[in-house]
Structure 1
Amino acid sequence: MTFAIKNRANTSVFIWAIGVFCLNFQAGALAAIPIQQWTQPSGAQVYLVESPAIAMVDVQIEFDAGARRDPAAQAGLASAMTGMLEKGVRANDARTAERICGGLCVDEPALDENALSEAWADLGAQFGAGASADRMFFSLRSLTEPDLLNKAVALAARELAEPAFPDAVWQRERQRLQASIKESYTRPASIVGRAYAQAVYGAHPYGQQVTEETLSRIGVDDMRKLHAASLVPCRARISMVGAVTRAQADAIAERLLSRLPQVPCASLPPMPQVPEVAPLAQAEEKRIPFDSAQAHVLIGQPGYKRADPDYFALTVGNYILGGGGFVSRLTREVREKRGLTYGVYSYFSPGLHAGAFTVGLQTRPDQAPQAVALVRDVLKDFVANGPTEAELKDAKDNLIGGFALRIDSNRKLLDNISGIAWNRLPLDYLDTWTQQVDKVTVADIKAAFARKLQPEKMVTVILGAAP
């Protein structure tokens, strides 16, 4: 299937529509999602799911260069650097042109942020970059019509490898970011979230806060150094979903990384070790005065790593406890029976290190002590006794029945594939997901929660409660 797109305005609308409707799955068609995996000569690892129904491809490239590797004094560096990629690319000099394309691309001019944006709009394609706590990521979405795809891959390779990092633009962006941070100090959710992260993680990089001061210490030279040190092809993990064959996917991955210095990983120093998250030694309660109609409450502790073998027991258990919305135990006890809140929830944030387990709610300031005490009682009971068989059955029915919604678009499927790549999960992970959920027992959940949670040692942060 070939699409001819000549009008730039129509192109953007068209690719948006394609993104909305790409790759719908029926529950009965989920017997297998074949994931192909291989390692390129550069060392880059590629994961592919062929999806020929729509002439489109989604690509994600990831590196171990997330915010947890930011220097404490320059928290926000990874996000700032990736944010600046869209602000322009530099022109090729003769030496660079000879290295990356045999001297055939010397006519590639510099593109400022406006020209770069126009170039992507002309192609009807999208390129983005960002950084989470663990990883730095770059994404490309394009139609697979050969001319459009070739140009999109070429432009993405330039933006990935040859950002301009214009200082004047960074000065402007830094002021904008600092103003945004300053404004966040007036928002209850931001205030309580910062205090909670500091209390749960302590000195661990997961708890580092981006502030006006840390941004002021970041310059474009720091971005260039981080870019050079982090974007190494041999350490890349590339996930791809779309209407491409393995041979085409291999060529796309190679071209995307072709402009980066090709350095063997064996010649590089090992990645610096990031310390593990320390368990909490004792319970802590922090109250933050704030004049608001609602008190904001967060309760929790460090949780578990994504690779933990208790993952499925904890996932199913948390759905029962507070992750299942109106069918969760916390909602039933705190909202429905006592009317102390409109909503209460719990979740785990597993990563390369032990991300937080969190319970959150909002309530009337005068009701905060009662709501907090009740949440603590529900937690203690759940950890001590686990769920009922009826709760477990309902949770399994909901999770298994809703599995198709986790992979009903190319973008969602790509997120799952990149998670498999990043966490080194088995290639049949999605094929066996519902089986793994169905195997979980009440005893499994009780044992997993007892291993991971200590209700008597959790952090509690309350903002805006009555004194």
Structure 2
Amino acid sequence: MFLASVLLLLFAAGPASAALPVQHWTRPDGVRVWLIESPVLPMVDVQVDFDAGGRRDPPGQGGLAYVTAHLTGKGVRASGDRRALDENELSEAWADLGASFGASAGSDRFSFTLRSLTDADLLSRVVTLAARQIGEPAFPADVWQRERERLAASLRESRTRPGTLAEEAFGQAVYRDHPYANDMTEASLARIDVADMRRHHAILQPCRARVSIVGAVSRAQADALAASLLARLPAGTCAPLPPVAEVQALAAPAERRLPFASAQAHVLMGQPGYKRDDPDYFALLVGNYILGGGGFVSRLTTEVREKRGLSYSVYSYFSPGLHAGAFTVGLQTRPEQAEQAIAVARDVVKRFVAEGPTAEELQAAKDFLIGGYALRIDSNRKLLDNLAQIAWYGLPLDYLQTWPGEVQKVTLADIRAAFARKLQPDRMVTVVVGGGPAAAR
């Protein structure tokens, strides 16, 4: 049995069939389901997403979505003939089933993920337990007190690292009064109690769920699986949630410099970027690979690292979401070189926005991205990640099949126009941590 388990895990990590068709339907209860049937392995992977991520945190309670998701794994309450389970009993129950289940919350989404074998009896028990954790979390007050202290200690420790301070300052400067800037802090944790978690959990109604399923299940089985997982959530009224304001563009450049006793200065530069549903997505994806997302073959690496030796690593990326996520350029350098590294990186971005890439750079980027596409969907877990993106952002059902073609269609003019629309190099935020008086001590 041990050898069989090892082989199963190896196969689970192996290739999945590429370009499998995506099925989508809406149940009578309003639950929306997306399915990729992948019968190669007797396994199923599920992700359930709700619009209850950090952007729904009330002002002053940054981290509420995160801790609500975290506490769903700390026990379930009694219901009907089923007794309550504390955190240890719940953990042991999952271990006995040999399945994995968890909850998480990002800036936009509140998510549950499940992985199990598809044996009928086993899967029935797995889904029953998952449904209890989704719909009947206990939110024990004593556990929250312990976890709040642990999280506060973790936050204090993280702020001894210059990288954390740079990321916090950068997020505040880019997003300002948008909920994306509503970070979890010791103060915000102190304002959260279990009643707040229960109110936040009430956002999770079946008709607001987007369920993504990949594995050896039929459409009928997937439909029943989605219904069972959400059966213990209250139906609710499904009134529309309040709209969340968009991230506002920067009107002027800004700089923030934080002294810190570190051997390296941590530098972040950027601005609000674009939303995931933007029609410029593929032009920006390909263009950023050339600018700073391609590692050692990117413009930023060539100019900052290879030609001048100012940094071991320099990069750029976009973080599109339901709102305009940040465009970020990041690097670390010796404090005395920080000004030169910043100037070079700014110039590279400015020239790229003005001129775009060369034909050779564009072709190399396309070759890499299209050639490596199979690695984006070579396991059920990766397929699920892509399927959940399709579900969350309302992407076309043939997105996985058309992705290489969309990359291939990108032209030099597309990239120049997209970057000109999205980036304003003269209005970016610059954050530098390290290199001030504290670094000299």
Q: How does 1:201-280 map to 2 (within 5 A)?
A: 201-228=175-202, 230-265=203-238, 268=239, 270-280=240-250
Deviation at 1:292, TM superposition (A): 0.6
* 1:186 equivalent in structure 2: 160
57, 61, 67: which one aligns with 1:80: 67
Q: How far has the Cα of 1:465 moved from its partner?
A: 2.1
1:149 — aligned with what? Answer: 123
1:91 aligns with 2:103: no
What's the CA shift for 1:24?
A: 3.6
| Cα displacement (A) at 1:259 | 1.1
- Conserved in 1, the CA contact under 8 Å of 2:11 and 2:41? no
Normalised by the length of structure 2, the TM-score is 0.97
Distance 2:263 2:292 in 1: 24
Aligned to 2:341: 371
2:24 is aligned with 1:34:
no
Residue 73 (structure 1) shift: 1.1
SS of the residue 1:129 aligns to = strand
Tell me whether 1:412 sits opposite 2:382 in the alignment.
yes
* Aligned residue number for residue 12 of structure 2: 22
1:61 aligns with 2:51: no
The one-letter amino acid of 1:34's match is: P
Partner of residue 101, structure 1: none
Counterpart of 1:180, as a letter, is: S
TM-score, structure 1 length as denominator?
Answer: 0.91
Matching of residue 402 in structure 1 with residue 402 in structure 2:
no
Contact 1:20 1:409 in 2 (8 A): no
Matched-pair contact (CA < 8 Å) for 1:23–1:51: no
Which string of whole-angstrom CA distances, capped at 9 and with x for unpartnered residues, describes residues 218-269 of structure 1?
A: 10111111112x110001000000010111111110100111112353xx2x
What SS does the corresponding residue of 1:130 show, helix, strand or coil?
A: strand
Distance apart, 1:48 and its partner CA:
0.4
* Corresponding residue for residue 43 of structure 1: 30
Q: Is residue 96 of structure 2 the alignment partner of residue 122 of structure 1?
A: yes
Matches within 5 A, 1:293-442: 293-442=263-412
Match for 1:215: what amino acid? L
Instruction: Report SS of the residue matched to 2:113.
Output: strand
Q: Distance in 2 between matches of 1:352 and 1:38?
A: 22
Q: CA RMSD in A?
A: 1.5
Kept after mapping to 1: 8 A contact 2:20/2:37: no
For 2:43 and 2:30, the matched residues in 1 are separated by 26
Q: How many residues align?
A: 437
Gaps of 5+ in 1: 98-105
Post-superposition Cα deviations, 1:317-375, rounded to whole Å, max 9, x if no partner, equal: 00000001111110011101111110100000000000000000000110000000000
SS of aligned partner of 1:296: strand
1:135 and 2:109 aligned: yes
Counterparts in 2 of 1:466 and 1:218: CA distance versus 1, 3 Å: closer
Identical aligned residues as a percent? 65
Q: Does 2:397 align with 1:462?
A: no
Gap runs ≥5 in structure 2? none
- What secondary structure sits across from 1:456 in the alignment? helix
Would the aligned equivalents of 1:42 and 1:264 in 2 still touch at CA under 8 Å? no
Paired residue secondary structure (1:127): strand
